[in-house]
Amino acid sequence: MLIDSHCHLDYYTEAELPDVLARARAAGVGELVSIGTRLDQSRKIRDLVGDLPNVWCTVGIHPHSAAEQPIPPPEEIAALADHPRVIGIGEAGLDYFYDKAPRDIQADAFRAQIRAARLAGVPICIHTRDAEADTGAILAEETAEGGPFDFLLHCFSSHRSLAEQAVAMGGYVSFSGILTFPKSTELRAAAADLPLDRLLVETDAPYLAPAPYRGKRNEPAFVAHTARVLAEVRGLTPEALAETTTANFRRLFRRAQVA
């Protein structure tokens, strides 16, 4: 069984969603995590996944939306995670490629969510783009100030030094369809060298469809293509890679226990 550790199910219409989930199950994707990007969508996303078997969610503030409303204190963000289907905080982090919010506000939202994740006892899902140095610095500073916390670098496509720093701090790294792109040779090299027990797979659907669907709308079923490429670079069978990434997911997202 594979787990799509990061997708956005609320980006599909109510009419589309049953078929999207059916195709995921047919592709061997047994569980999914639908990721929050705005706190004001938290109730909606919790209600959405609450009716779906083996589907989880997170709540958080994407760096693109960090300036849309005042950043609540960590305690308020943590309270939103008090729900049986919420297994993490995020996606949080820094995005200097689009810079849709001032960088200091992005950093403030990132730090607040790290602290909220620690209070809630759940991992934080981290988005970072063109912001490796500041992401690494905030992770180190927050660890030094408040102690270790569980985190995942989602859709990893940055320099391998950030992944290595994350792993050294106890973090995990998730690979998306970018891993399958022909020009992603350095990314595949990093995926081959990182500790196997820290790797997850995801789609970030409906974005970043893997080969052979690049340019089309992504969906959770396509995580199987990313997993196949990751298995190849690790010298594993697809079945062994699925077993390993699922075990890693369970270790990180401890609330995601299927009855």
**Per-residue pLDDT, 225:** 98
**Per-residue pLDDT, 259:** 61
Q: What is the pLDDT along the chain (259 residues), one digit of tens a residue?
A: 999 999 999 999 999 999 999 999 999 999 999 999 999 999 999 999 998 989 999 999 999 999 999 999 999 999 999 999 999 999 999 999 999 999 999 999 999 999 999 999 999 999 999 999 999 999 999 999 999 999 999 999 999 999 999 999 999 999 999 999 999 999 999 999 999 999 999 999 999 999 999 999 999 999 999 999 999 999 999 999 999 999 999 999 999 987 6
**Per-residue pLDDT, 51:** 81
Alpha carbon separation from 190 to 27, 79, 160, 175 (Å, rounded): 26, 36, 6, 11
DSSP state of 15: T
Q: In the chain, where are the structural domains located?
A: 2-252
Sign of CA dihedral 212, 219, 190, 247: negative
Contact 258, 55 (CB under 8 A): no
**Per-residue pLDDT, 257:** 85
The span from the CA of 63 to the CA of 53, in Å, is 29
Decide which of 3.40.50.300, 3.40.50.10420, 3.30.43.10, 3.20.20.140 is the CATH code for 2-252. 3.20.20.140
Q: Using CB atoms within 10 Å of the CB of residue 15, give its burial: 0 to 12 exposed, 13 to 18 middle, 19+ buried.
A: exposed
The span from the CA of 75 to the CA of 258, in Å, is 28
**Per-residue pLDDT, 157:** 96
Beta bridge partners of 172: 152
Angle at CA of residue 36, ends 131 and 4, nearest 5°: 85
Beta bridge partners of 94: 128
Who contacts 59 (Cβ-Cβ below 8 Å, separation ≥6)?
36, 39, 42, 45, 46, 77, 80, 81, 86, 89
236: three-class secondary structure by DSSP: coil
Cα 112 → chain centroid:
18
Please state whether the predicted TM-score (pTM) of the whole model is above 0.75.
Answer: yes
The span from the CA of 159 to the CA of 35, in Å, is 24
Phi, psi of 98 (to 5 degrees): -95, -30
Sign of CA dihedral 166, 200, 88, 214: positive
The span from the CA of 224 to the CA of 220, in Å, is 8
